[in-house]
Amino acid sequence: MPGEILDNQGRGEASWQWPSIHPEGRKFALVGAVLCAVVAYCAWETIAWPLAALTVWILAFFRDPQRVTPQDDRLIVSPADGLVTLIQQVPPPRELMIDDGSGAPRMDDTPVTRVSIFMSVFDVHINRAPVGGTVRRLVYIPGKFLNADLDKASEDNERQHILIERGDGVLLAFTQIAGLVARRIVPFVKPGDMLAGGQRVGLIRFGSRVDVYLPKGCGSRVLMGQRVIAGETILAELGRQELLQGVSQ
């Protein structure tokens, strides 16, 4: 299925399949499996069973399912699986507004819509590019490990900003934020890389959050409390900023 074109007219083939396990997680699962085997060999069953459950959970945490990304230049897709917990008008991150001396584009201080997506330990943690374009900046900032669901996590927690420039010059930024349990942000990209919309760009280990800073004049197409899927859920559409309402049921 990877690379296959599917559409809304029924063309293409779709079937359920077991998700693959990202290489970043295989080493953790291997350690858990070896410990479980050693403990089981020593007949310490009360410890072996929890270790077996831990190994299965690690495999599930690092699952990397295939996603079907809508192909439309106007669309911005979700970079993360999870729950939309905040939608606010805020200035972009200050680290992306300063001149870093590289000559790379930077954002100005005009407030934009920020959509915050909280990822629990049960969500897929592979993050994907919201749009296609070139990575212009990748800025890592060490920090605290507060609950990622808190608003101040955007300023206080360990985080990594990624700024993408589309082919038409439109800038979009998103931030990977480490949470209460997360302890490492793992990037798959670097400045200068060309990305396709929905391409894998990194992961955050063990629970976290992603903030998306939409381009100017662009409003959220998702609602507070809505669950989104990385690479698939349409987060916003360029040039559209109307009010949308939903009902919790």
Kindly write down the DSSP assignment for every residue of 61-126, as one continuous string: HTEE--------TTEEE-SS-EEEEEEEEEPPPGGGTS--SS------S--EEEEEEEE-TTS--E
Q: Are residues 83 and 202 in the same domain?
A: yes
Q: Are residues 99 and 206 in the same domain?
A: yes
**Residue 24 banded pLDDT, cuts 50, 70, 90:** confident
**CATH, residue 106:** 2.70.70
The answer to the question of residue 175 being in a domain is yes
Q: Are residues 166 and 56 in the same domain?
A: no
CA distances 234 to 59, 117, 130, 207, 249, Å, are 28, 13, 9, 22, 21
> Which are the contacts of 129, defined by CB distance < 8 A and separation ≥ 6?
79, 164, 195, 196, 197, 198, 199, 201
**Residue 2 banded pLDDT, cuts 50, 70, 90:** confident
The answer to the question of residue 1 being in a domain is no
pLDDT in tens, 100-152: 888 888 999 999 999 999 998 889 989 999 999 999 999 998 865 555 455 55
The answer to the question of residue 104 being in a domain is yes
- Give the number of domains in the chain: 2
The residue among 36 and 163 whose pLDDT is bigger is 163
Residues with a catalytic annotation lie at 208
Q: Are residues 36 and 114 in the same domain?
A: no
The answer to the question of residue 2 being in a domain is no
Domain span at residue 33 reads 20-64
pLDDT at position 85: 94
pLDDT in tens, 178-214: 866 555 788 899 999 999 999 999 988 766 889 999 9
pLDDT at position 194: 96
The answer to whether 157 and 178 are in contact (CB under 8 A) is yes
Q: Are residues 196 and 224 in the same domain?
A: yes
pLDDT at position 150: 52
pLDDT at position 152: 53
Q: Are residues 213 and 119 in the same domain?
A: yes
Q: Are residues 143 and 24 in the same domain?
A: no
Alpha carbon distance 57, 32 (integer Å)? 10
pLDDT at position 189: 94
pLDDT in tens, 27-63: 888 988 998 888 888 877 788 888 889 889 888 888 9
pLDDT in tens, 212-223: 999 998 999 999
Alpha carbon distance 12, 184 (integer Å)? 38
Q: Are residues 135 and 213 in the same domain?
A: yes
pLDDT in tens, 60-102: 888 999 999 999 999 999 999 999 999 999 999 999 999 888 8
Q: Are residues 49 and 147 in the same domain?
A: no
The answer to whether 67 and 6 are in contact (CB under 8 A) is no
pLDDT at position 18: 85
Backbone angles phi, psi at 175, to 5 degrees: -130, 125
The answer to the question of residue 3 being in a domain is no
